[in-house]
Amino acid sequence: MHIPVLLKETVELLNLYSNDSVIDGTVGLGGHAAVILEKTSPDGRLLALDRDPRQIVTAKKNLAKFDKRVVLIHDSFANLAKHAYDQGFTTVAAVLLDLGFSSVHVDDPARGFSFQSEGPLDMKYDPTGELTAADIVNTWSETELARIFLVYGDEKNSRKIARAIVEAREEKKFVTTTDLAQLIEVITPRCGKVHPATKVFQALRIVTNDELGELERALPEIVEVLKPGGRLAIITFHSLEDRIVKAFFRKQENKTLKIINKHVIVPSEEEIKVNPRSRSAKLRVVERLVGTRD
């Protein structure tokens, strides 16, 4: 089951009122969305996007009681402004991005996100996307593989793992998650509880979905759709994501944005105990000023 992260803090800082129009750029299973819809009742509207069409199907069921107040669209939040315009969301009071993957991605072996169970080495949120994790592992150069494992996974054995992958694929291409996880386990044995493939899998997921590129493209567009006084909340799970968000907010501070929380908000110890996935979450919130972007 996916438990929404930093739910209370996020909804509180979005500062919602009855009948507000809101956009959830990463609706997932609709956990945050349901509370947003409660807060904006009776007539507030929600435009909800997700890059994974399966999440849209589940969110539709989970949010069914809100009926016509919700518009669900399968697309990346990088195209949020276009959908806001098309759907008549012209005075948007709040936008939420709760980045990364959902527990359903890791729980379903067929999606290829997990090294714990065997599945195709896929890792695409959007099945119509062209690049798979297997394409990266089977075709990218040793140097490029070492770079992404280091930069996006912070993997200290990045070069050793990249070399082993390139040697192994000469014999047989990587097809499944276990093909890759087992090779990594052999060359960098397990120490402690964390599986040695954790960081490489994280790097492959980020690159397969161009997660940082999507975020960078989305931020200026999101600011444009917010009405003056409207708020944007972003929950990140990776230091590089948080760095992009923080740098953008700082650059726009006192031009188009006011920073609401000077210090990043993190989950309480109690939340981490109940939902260990929340431990790396960071929440930043800004408010739209009247000014224009440079």
Ligand X SMILES: C[S@@+](CC[C@H](N)C(=O)[O-])C[C@H]1O[C@@H](n2cnc3c(N)ncnc32)[C@H](O)[C@@H]1O
Q: Give the other-Cβ count within 10 Å of 71's Cβ.
A: 16
- Considering only residues 8-47, where is the footprint of ligand X by CB under 6 A? 25-26, 28-32
- In the chain, where does DSSP find H-type helix? 7-14, 31-39, 53-62, 80-86, 103-107, 133-139, 142-153, 158-171, 177-187, 198-208, 211-225, 239-252, 269-274
- Considering only residues 214-233, where is the footprint of ligand X by CB under 6 A? 214
- Number of shown-chain residues binding ligand X (CB under 6 A): 23
Nearer to ligand X, 70 or 184 (CB): 70
Nearest distance, CB of residue 170 and ligand X, angstroms: 34
- Considering only residues 74-133, where is the footprint of ligand X by CB under 6 A? 76-78, 98, 100-102, 125
Nearer to ligand X, 56 or 136 (CB): 56
Is 284 a binder of ligand X (CB under 6 A)? Answer: no
DSSP 265: B
Give the alpha-carbon dihedral of 247, 251, 254, 259, to 10 degrees.
-10
Residue with tokens 């003056």: 228
For ligand X, which residue of 9, 20, 50, 122 counts as binding (CB under 6 A)? 50
Is 152 a binder of ligand X (CB under 6 A)? Answer: no
Nearer to ligand X, 3 or 187 (CB): 3
Q: In angstroms, rounded to a whole number, what is the distance separating the alpha carbons of residues 200 and 14? A: 35
Check the CA dihedral 281-287-293-294 and report its sign.
negative
Residues found near ligand X in the complex (CB under 6 A): 2, 4, 25-26, 28-32, 49-52, 55, 76-78, 98, 100-102, 125, 214
